[in-house]
A and B are shown apart, each in its own frame.
Chain A
Amino acid sequence: MKEMSDIGLERSNRQCGQSISRATLALLCFYVFAGVFNGEALLRGVERMPYGNKRDACVALMKPAAWLSRVTRAGCLRAWLEKTVNLDPPP
């Protein structure tokens, strides 16, 4: 059985990509933007969890993101997408 050439290994050997500090910054930016875009929806989601410590922790964590999402109106993107591309419920 002939194994295919592995692009991931090739790129790893070629040291493709970026420094660890730059990657960490990119990841942090991603989390901030993701929180801002989805904060309100995420808060709605965690509020539906069963009552308990886990729910309380999630709600406390999501409240700042939801506030930021509301203030910056960044949550509109997701709300608009959900409204426009409304995939019908299953039969």
Chain B
Amino acid sequence: MLFPTLSFAIFFLIVFSGYWLLIRRGVIWKLFILAASWFFYAFWDWRFLGLLILYTIVNYYLSLASYRSGRPPKRRWVVLAVIFNLSLLGVFKYYSFFTLSAYAVCNWAGVRCPLPLLYITLPIGISFFTFQAISYVVDVHRGLIKPANSILDFAIYKSFFPQLVAGPIVRASHYLPQFYRIMDVRRIDVGRAALLILGGLFKKVVIANYISAHVVDPVFANVGAFQGPDSLLAIYGYAVQIYCDFSAYSDIAIGAATLLGIHFPENFNAPYFATSVSQFWHRWHISLSTWLRDYLFFSLYSTRLGRWRFALVINTFITFLLGGLWHGASWTFVMWGALLGAYLMGEQLLGNLLVRMRGGRPLPDGAVIRFCQRVVVFNLICISSVFFRAESFTDGAILLHRVFSLWNVVTLFTIPTVLILITGFLSQFMDGRRMEPVWNWFNRLPVVGQGLVAAVALTVILALGPQGVAPFIYFQF
């Protein structure tokens, strides 16, 4: 079920009403949320609901076994849980990718590949709920959290519909304490929720869909057919599209959860205003980057790799390489991750070198320098994003090469396109606390006024957006 659809609007109205009506009914309330979340998931493809239930049962009991195995807990339970989660992810998401890669290698070597070729449907959101499950069992193992009070509580955490299919990756340490105190919720931040949902709809329905249909898709579908200006526009367009698309999903998820009395952590904070690549990763898909840091990067340090001389640089690179692979089962995603890892390595080495050259004094700072840093970082991210979107290395390389080709013919530069691109870029100002005065203003409006303002805003969004809504980009992950 897509957020910007009539089905979701009807679903949410029923869930919201039932949720607050049944809040004091204990188990019935819990069963209601679980049923709603499972319905939300099954609406897409009911066959994979069994997979979600399997994840829930196995992870709950393995984490419980880990918790009850004494202090310090035995490693075998957490290892088993991680193997189980990664195996399912591997089968559903990476089997075809690795088989095809093996075929290519075998062909090159002139031997017969023994692996059968299977085309497996990717269950929606599997990457997100795998990471969520791993964070839960590892946190229980590390003693950071206690296991959920019951399998029902864990199932609700695992399946809570706003974050189920495309994040943010909400950790149990954040969700469960709120869940157990839900009866204490007396006030709902409607202003923030409404603005996040409407802002998210605007970014997805108007900006991301428009840029995708008018700029990005035509160019990436035929990379050799467009000259420099159009190719450049498509590269910048994709950077704006992916930000608007994914931050829109996060915003709507955060807004929907807020209306249900649950706080989700921020997932974006004006990433394209970052002055360094490392800062970019503190601002882009924050729940994923902190997950990669806490469960992959730090885990690499605890292995032999952590004792190497260049452990920091190498571990950063490995983390981004695997982060790239997490995004998609394709070598282009690995390339994307490798580029980002290389940027970060280069940034660390260059920073150290410059400080050393200046005799230990910190690097100069100022508005002009920060502006230049932002331009450089944004362009580096745009270059890496080409491989995120391109069908193959060759397509990505051709597109980058076309930027420096002829600049005679311009077909995609129109006033609406440029205006929408700029609006999409500037929509980053809606992240973080910048909109707080508007949220407070909305909260102070009378009830009818709130409904009217939100309905007018929705009407404008629907009128500006194209017919039908494309799925969110991150659904494929």
A-side residues, CB < 8 A to B, are 1-4, 6-9, 11-12, 15-20, 22-34, 36-38, 41-42, 45-46, 58, 61, 77-78, 81-82, 85, 87-88, 90-91
Contact = CB atoms under 8 A, between A and B. Distances in A.
B400 to A, nearest CB: 22
Contacts of B6: 42, 45-46, 58
B263 A17 contact: no
A85 to B, nearest CB: 6
B254 A8 contact: yes
Contacts of A38: 458-459, 462
A7 B189 contact: no
Nearest to A29: B451
A45 B218 CA distance: 26
A91 B218 contact: yes
Interface string B389-420: 00000000000000000000001101010000
A87 B455 contact: no
Contacts of A27: 13, 16, 190, 259, 451
A31 B16 CA distance: 12
17 contacts: A1-B289, A3-B290, A4-B282, A6-B265, A8-B258, A8-B265, A15-B186, A17-B187, A17-B189, A17-B190, A24-B17, A26-B450, A26-B451, A27-B259, A29-B447, A34-B9, A34-B454
A17 B290 CA distance: 29
B154 interface: no
B189 A11 contact: yes
B447 A25 contact: yes
A87 B211 CA distance: 11
Given A8-B192, A9-B265, 12 more contacts: A7-B266, A16-B192, A17-B188, A17-B443, A18-B188, A22-B447, A23-B259, A27-B16, A31-B451, A34-B459, A45-B467, A81-B460
Interface of A is mostly: helix
Contact of B463 (A20, A22, A32, A82): A82
B213 interface: yes
Interface of B: 6, 9-10, 13, 16-17, 20, 185-192, 194, 210, 213-214, 217-218, 254, 258-259, 263-266, 269, 282-283, 286, 289-290, 293, 411-412, 414, 416, 432-433, 436, 439-440, 443, 447-448, 450-452, 454-456, 458-460, 462-464, 466-467
Contacts of A1: 282, 289-290, 293
B254 A26 contact: no
Given A6-B266, A16-B187, A17-B191, A30 B455 contact: yes
Given A11-B192, A16-B189, A20-B188, A4 B432 contact: yes
A37 B187 contact: no
A89 to B, nearest CB: 8
A85 B464 CA distance: 7
A77 B459 contact: yes
Contact of A32 (B265, B290, B451): B451
Nearest to A58: B6
B165 to A, nearest CB: 21
Q: A-B pairs with the 4 shortest C-beta distances?
A: A29-B451, A33-B455, A81-B463, A17-B189
A72 to B, nearest CB: 13
Contact of A16 (B217, B259, B443): B443
Contact of B218 (A7, A20, A23, A90): A90
Contacts of A46: 6
Contact of A34 (B213, B259, B282, B455): B455
A37 B6 CA distance: 14
Contacts of B210: 87
A6 B440 CA distance: 16
A30 to B, nearest CB: 4
A2 B186 CA distance: 31
A34 B459 CA distance: 7
A22 to B, nearest CB: 6
A2 B282 contact: yes
A18 B264 CA distance: 18
Contacts of B459: 34, 37-38, 77-78, 81
A4 B266 contact: yes
A38 B190 CA distance: 22
Contacts of B462: 38, 41, 78
Contacts of A16: 187, 189, 191-192, 439-440, 443
Contacts of B254: 8
B150 to A, nearest CB: 25
A17 to B, nearest CB: 4
Nearest to B464: A85
B410 to A, nearest CB: 12
Contacts of B282: 1-4
Contacts of B217: 90
Nearest to B467: A45
Contacts of B432: 4, 7
A57 to B, nearest CB: 10
